[in-house]
């Protein structure tokens, strides 16, 4: 019987269910921990069941498959990435809240979750936030926006784009499964061996981490290749590299980083997998293994990774500052050079993540100085954004609230970063909450606010209506205040010597600040709730909030030249542009909203492909099989992936034609609508009168 | 927004009040230099930070959309003097900070011995407790780290399990402890005192309890303490070694050894214990 069981289920037993923690609880804290874990798992299962139920009830399986999952349209893939990011954000925020509660209660060893459970929480929180929230979010925005901004119809390899999404989603699914069939790794988002080696953690936890991260890494590498080729090869006529919107530049640099930075991660997790599955000695304590090699490989990826995360946000901010100041970007060339400098320098600083590993002072000094050098181009960017607002007309719309908060808060994060760049200071702040405060200070005002600003900015382009501003402001202010309360105390705690990743502590001096941080976490949860309400309210009022003319913010770049939501083929004919701020130039000359110069033509669009979703299912099955030693499932999953990929190579009928008449009809209706839609001044921008038809700012502002 | 800066500084100052575990109220020369360096960086950084903290509110007020003053020039996108300033000032700041960085990294190198006749203490990290071996005194302890306040301490550090990080915040630097390898740390206290010592690298379930009490005492007290340890301590036998190597917290270890209190002193430490943990026989070449 047990032989049969293990043949089918590998090492998966009922012990994997989180309820068991309740049953085996020996004290109050373990009981609470079990309840928290079971509730989380229950929510995940209920959510999945509800989704299945709703899809069945409203007969949505067909549309879901045809219009979304198998779609290779860059816009739909972009939206699916962002949806994935928001779902994962909800989970990771809930985990952050539990961690903050635990630390506020953990003085003297009390609390809500056990040490082991807390360790899983920081590991999943970190892994999700980086790989399954931030990465999908920025990949989604790039996917949606970048092809439109360069006047292209799609990315270079549409099917591969869907495959990238499939791999990323597979990793995310694996993480969601680990909530129900526990445990996940306790090794943090960095997964340092030897702790994650079989000698110390033989269970499935580290394997979940390895495969989730590896899958997402493969997806990201493919995305990077796709974006780079798109930007090099698919720009419309007249758009020189130095004319691209800054968001495209940051997308380009991020994609280059993705291509070069992700392979070391895949190698590191691959070698760790060899250790764990086949008894190699890469990073083990014995047999000549050396964990320092893992640290080097991991951060060879990890440091460029944080710039992969931040650069697209910089791109969003560049668009936001320029749009909401009604002014062209200050110092475009400098911003491009600075972005490139950051991208190159990001590969030269990885050692600063382990100054305390015992290498020589000379080496540390060199890497410390290299780290500080990154501060120069970053500082230049901050000043350039300020100078973009200078001599403009600054409208504090919701994206701008995030952007202005970013300028101030990010500067504080930069200050703490420069402090940590000093090896001799890092010696006293490494591994403390000061470091946790520093990187959240970069990631929340930097990355997350940028993503939320971009979400607010481009939402109307994707769905045809703007997001309700009232709830938008509430969310933004709560995010800002919540961040300040949740993380500034952590600087203090770090200086008081409190290590990171600590579930309980025995030093009363740390208690008050953990309480303040909990308050901040409450505000952040409220902020996220406001975002959900905002979405709900906006969908309900979508008629009133509609902006069919597609230019709600009087913007300057090409994506705003088309209706909202953007038509499947993006542009009736590939645009021809001149200079920067292509759409602003068109508007000034009155050349927007025109029929294409040489008439309408048939448009060839890629057909749907099932490869992405099939690979997603196949690779999830393979990874799940590997985690639990269900070898048949792993083999089956691998075979499905292989067979589907080969079969895809035999497809011949890969494109379909959109008829010129249809394009013409749709575009002429759009132009006709323009004649009847009033242009509105910027003062009415965030009202229901905004139909997406902007009157030029220069007419309004006379100074 | 401008209010955030004082708030931030307040948090930092608040951090400075607490004694036992913060380098900003330093208890030793290393931490003192680090604290001074910290404030140096914060001050110099104000050259580039203050323009942002002041400039951003000023710009969004002066150039606001409704009732904004100041001229509006939507095409203005470059100014040579500003460009020089925007690149030049950060470059100068990084030069000022970089020189200090290089200097501090050399002088505060944890491997660099401090002036004076140092006490050698060997440190072995176990799950989840530290063993301190005093080769000169011939004793070893768990839970208490005692040393004479007027002499520097030279730590030789390794781990018999996963990677850990040996850290006494009030005295300054930390350094990783890794199996099969030896790392070094040189610290000193400015006077008699009690500080918090910890492991700052997550290492499993008992991680949070892996702290120890650091006592900097007078030379005489140290001698008395070492002698009484030698006389009244526990023998370091097989049972003790196995108990240390087992995954257990310090208090579980003490229970196993039948010791009451927070710490234990062993009368004799195997002289080659440290080297045997700190070297990996399968690594052929010489590794530090
Ligand atoms: C928005 C509210 C957030 C809160 C309240 C929060 C809270 C926390 C907490 C309490 C920890 C554990 C700290 C410790 O080690 O003691 C943590 C770790 C971490 N967080 Fe967040 N976080 C938030 C957002 C984010 C975001 C947006 C990201 C990344 C995009 C992120 C990435 C991480 C990472 C990488 C870790 C380290 C995990 C590890 O130790 O391996 N967090 N966070």
Question: Looking at this predicted complex, what is its ipTM?
Answer: 0.93
% chain A with pLDDT above 90: 90
Residues B138 and B46 in one domain: no
Work out the average pLDDT over A2-15: 90
pLDDT band for B285, please (50, 70, 90 cuts): low
Residue A622 lies in a domain: no
**B64 and B185 together in one domain:** no
Last residue within a domain, chosen from B107, B128, B145? B107
Mark whether B150 and B261 lie in a shared domain.
yes
Residue A235 sits in a domain whose CATH number is 1.20.210.10
Q: What does the pLDDT average to over A323-334?
A: 94
Using the beta-carbon criterion (under 8 Å), do A116 and B203 form an inter-chain contact?
Answer: no
**Mean predicted confidence (pLDDT) in A571-577:** 90
Coil, strand, or helix at residue A593?
Answer: coil
Q: Tell me whether residue B112 is in a domain.
A: no
| Mean pLDDT, chain A, whole residue set | 95
Among chain A residues, CA nearest to B51: A383
> Taking 50 as the threshold, does the pLDDT of residue B2 lie above it?
no
C-alpha pair distances (Å), A213 with each of A14, A103, A175:
26, 27, 10
Burial A587-620 (b: 16+ CB within 10 A, else e): beeeebbeebeeebeebebbebbebbbbbbbbbb
- Is A677 domain-assigned? yes
pLDDT of B288 higher than 60:
no
Predicted pLDDT at B126: 96
The domain boundary residue, chosen from B66, B86, B107: B107
| Domain contains B8 | no
Same domain, B209 and B261: yes
Report how far residue A277's alpha carbon sits from residue A275's, in angstroms, rounded to the nearest whole number.
6
Cβ under 8 Å to B: A residues 409-448: 409, 411-412, 414-415, 418-419, 421-425, 427-428, 430-432
The answer to whether residue A404 neighbours chain B at the CB level (below 8 Å) is yes
Is B5 within the bounds of a domain? Answer: no
* Domain end marker among B68, B83, B107: B107
Q: How far apart are CA A93 and CA A441, in angstroms?
A: 16
List the domain range (segments joined by +) for residue B175: 119-279
List Cα–Cα distances, A309 to A250, A313, A427, in angstroms.
10, 7, 26
Phi, psi of A295 (to 5 degrees): -55, -45
pLDDT for position A288: 87
Q: Is B113 domain-assigned?
A: no
* Ligand 1 pocket residue status of A627, Cβ below 6 Å: no
Buried b (16+ CB within 10 A) or exposed e, B213-246: ebbbbeeeebeebbeebbeebbebeeebbebbee
Check: CB of residue B24 under 8 Å from CB of residue B37.
Answer: no
Q: Is residue A639 part of a domain?
A: no
Q: Looking at the structure, do residues B94 and B201 belong to the same domain, yes or no? A: no
Report the percent of chain B where pLDDT is more than 90.
Answer: 82
Q: Is residue B48 part of a domain?
A: yes
The answer, yes or no, to whether residue B19 has pLDDT greater than 80, is no
Per-residue pLDDT for B4 more than 60?
no
CATH code of residue B196: 2.60.40.420
pLDDT band of residue B14 (cuts 50, 70, 90) is: very low
Q: In chain A, whose CA is at the least distance from the CA of B112?
A: A361
Rounded to a whole number of angstroms, the distance from the CA of A189 to the nearest CA of chain B is: 12
Atom of ligand 1 nearest to the CA of A189: 41
**A644 domain residue, yes or no:** no
**Pick from B226, B233, B218: which is nearest to B264 by CA?**
B233
Tell me the mean pLDDT in the region A79-105.
97
Its sign, for the CA torsion A423, A428, A433, A438, is negative
Cα→Cα distances A703→A78, B71, B73, B281, Å: 41, 6, 9, 79
Residues pairing with B159 in the sheet:
B125
Residue nearest to atom 34 of ligand 1 (CA): A126
- Asked if B227 and B267 count as a contact pair (C-beta separation under 8 A), the reply is no
Q: Do B103 and B27 lie in a common domain?
A: yes
Both B160 and B87 in one domain: the answer is no
Do B92 and B224 belong together in one domain? no
In a domain, B55, yes or no: yes
The pLDDT value given to residue A695: 86
Q: What distance in Å separates the CA atoms of residue B213 and residue B20, rounded to the nearest whole number?
A: 10
| Domain around A384 | 60-609+654-699
Residue B18 has pLDDT above 90, yes or no: no
User: Strands B119-126 and B153-159, how do they pair?
Assistant: parallel
- Between chains, do B15 and A496 touch, taking CB under 8 Å as contact? yes
Measure A436 CA to ligand 1 centroid, in angstroms: 7
- Closest of A659, A653, A662, A660 to residue A607, by C-alpha: A653
The number of distinct structural domains making up chain A is 1
Q: Which two tokens mark B71?
A: 């001229």
Cα–Cα distance for residue pair A695/A676, rounded to 1 Å:
14
Task: Tell me whether residue A503 is in a domain.
Answer: yes
Q: How many domains does chain B have?
A: 2
């Amino acid at each position: 019987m047990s032989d049969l069981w293990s043949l089918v289920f590998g090492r998966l037993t009922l012990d994997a269910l989180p309820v068991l923690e309740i049953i085996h609880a020996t004290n109050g804290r373990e009981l609470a921990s079990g309840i928290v874990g079971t509730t989380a798992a229950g929510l995940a299962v209920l959510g999945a069941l509800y989704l299945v139920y709703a899809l069945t009830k409203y007969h949505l399986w067909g549309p879901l498959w045809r219009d979304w999952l198998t779609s290779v349209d860059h816009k739909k893939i972009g939206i699916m990435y962002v949806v994935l990011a928001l779902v994962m954000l909800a989970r990771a925020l809930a985990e952050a809240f539990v961690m903050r509660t635990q630390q506020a209660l953990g003085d003297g060893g009390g609390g809500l979750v056990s040490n082991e459970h807390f360790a899983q929480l920081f590991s999943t929180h970190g892994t999700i936030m980086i790989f399954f929230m931030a990465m999908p979010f920025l990949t989604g925005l790039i996917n949606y926006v970048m092809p439109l901004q360069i006047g292209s119809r799609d990315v270079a390899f549409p099917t591969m784009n869907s495959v990238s999404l499939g791999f990323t989603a597979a990793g995310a699914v694996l993480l969601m499964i680990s909530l129900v069939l526990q445990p996940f790794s306790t090794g943090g988002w960095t997964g340092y061996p030897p702790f994650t080696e079989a000698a110390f953690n033989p269970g499935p936890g580290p394997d979940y981490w390895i495969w989730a991260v590896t899958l997402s890494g493969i997806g990201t590498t493919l995305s990077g290749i796709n974006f780079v080729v798109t930007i090099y090869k698919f720009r419309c006529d007249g758009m020189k590299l130095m004319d691209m919107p800054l968001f495209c530049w940051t997308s380009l640099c991020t994609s280059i980083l993705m291509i070069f930075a992700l392979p070391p991660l895949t190698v590191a997790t691959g070698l760790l997998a060899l250790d764990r599955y086949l008894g190699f000695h890469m990073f083990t304590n014995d047999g000549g293994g050396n964990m320092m090699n893992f640290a080097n490989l991991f951060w060879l990826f990890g440091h460029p990774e944080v710039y992969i995360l931040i650069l697209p946000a910089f791109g969003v901010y560049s668009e936001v500052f320029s749009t909401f100041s009604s002014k062209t970007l200050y110092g475009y060339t400098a911003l491009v050079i600075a972005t490139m400098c950051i991208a190159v320098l990001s590969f030269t600083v990885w050692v600063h993540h382990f100054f305390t590993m015992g290498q020589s002072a000379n080496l540390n000094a060199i890497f410390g100085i290299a780290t500080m050098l990154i501060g120069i181009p970053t500082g230049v960017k901050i000043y350039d954004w300020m100078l973009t607002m200078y001599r403009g007309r600054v409208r504090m719309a919701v994206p701008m609230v995030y952007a202005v908060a970013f300028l101030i808060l990010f500067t504080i994060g930069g200050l703490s970063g420069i402090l940590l760049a000093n090896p001799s200071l890092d010696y006293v702040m490494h591994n403390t909450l000061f470091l946790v405060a520093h990187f959240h200070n970069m990631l929340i005002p930097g990355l997350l606010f940028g993503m939320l600003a971009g979400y607010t900015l481009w939402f109307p382009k994707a769905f045809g209506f703007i997001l309700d501003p009232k709830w938008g402001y509430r969310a933004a202010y709560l995010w800002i205040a919540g961040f300040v309360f949740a993380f500034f105390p952590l600087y203090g705690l770090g200086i008081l010597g409190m290590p990171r990743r600590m579930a309980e502590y025995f030093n009363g001096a740390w208690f008050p600040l953990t309480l303040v941080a909990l308050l901040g976490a409450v505000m952040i949860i409220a902020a996220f709730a406001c975002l959900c309400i905002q979405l709900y309210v906006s969908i309900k009022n979508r008629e009133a909030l509609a902006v069919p003319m597609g230019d709600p913010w009087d913007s300057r770049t090409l994506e705003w030249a088309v209706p909202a939501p953007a038509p499947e083929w993006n542009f009736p004919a590939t645009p021809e542009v001149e200079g920067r701020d292509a759409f602003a130039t068109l508007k000034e000359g009155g050349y927007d909203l025109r029929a294409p110069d040489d008439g309408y033509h048939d448009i060839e669009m890629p057909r749907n492909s099932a490869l992405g979703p099939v690979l997603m299912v196949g690779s999830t099955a393979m990874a799940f099989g590997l985690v639990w030693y269900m070898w048949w499932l792993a083999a089956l999953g691998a075979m499905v992936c292989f067979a589907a990929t080969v079969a895809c190579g035999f497809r011949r009928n890969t494109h379909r034609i959109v008829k010129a008449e249809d394009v013409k009809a749709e575009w002429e209706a759009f132009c006709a609508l323009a004649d009847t839609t009033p242009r509105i001044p910027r003062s009415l921008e965030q009202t229901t009168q905004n139909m997406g038809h902007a009157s030029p700012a220069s007419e309004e502002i006379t100074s | 927004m401008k209010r955030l800066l004082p708030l931030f500084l307040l948090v930092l100052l608040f951090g400075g009040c607490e004694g036992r575990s913060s380098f900003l109220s330093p208890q030793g020369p290393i931490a003192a230099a680090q604290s001074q360096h910290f404030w140096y960086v914060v001050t110099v950084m104000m050259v580039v930070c203050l323009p942002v903290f002041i400039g951003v509110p000023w710009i969004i007020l002066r150039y606001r959309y409704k009732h904004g003053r100041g001229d509006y020039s939507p095409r203005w996108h470059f100014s040579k003097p500003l460009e020089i300033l925007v690149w030049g000032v950060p470059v100068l700041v990084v030069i000022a900070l970089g020189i200090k960085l290089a200097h501090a990294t050399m002088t505060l190198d944890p491997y660099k011995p401090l002036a004076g006749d140092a006490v050698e203490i060997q440190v072995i990290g176990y799950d989840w407790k530290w063993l301190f071996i005093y080769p000169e005194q011939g004793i070893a302890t768990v839970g208490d780290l005692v040393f004479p306040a007027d002499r520097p301490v030279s730590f030789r550090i390794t781990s018999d399990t996963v990677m850990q990080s040996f850290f006494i915040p009030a005295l300054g630097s930390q350094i990783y402890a890794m199996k099969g390898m030896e790392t070094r740390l040189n610290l000193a206290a400015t006077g008699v005192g009690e500080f918090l010592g910890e492991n700052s690298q997550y290492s499993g379930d008992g991680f949070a309890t892996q702290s120890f009490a650091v006592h900097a005492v007078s030379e005489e007290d140290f001698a008395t303490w070492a002698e009484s340890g030698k006389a009244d301590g526990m023998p370091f036998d097989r049972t003790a070694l196995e108990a240390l190597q087992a995954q257990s917290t310090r208090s579980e270890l003490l229970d196993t050894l039948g010791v009451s209190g927070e710490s234990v002193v062993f009368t004799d430490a195997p002289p080659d214990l440290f080297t045997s943990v700190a070297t990996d026989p399968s690594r052929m070449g010489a590794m530090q």
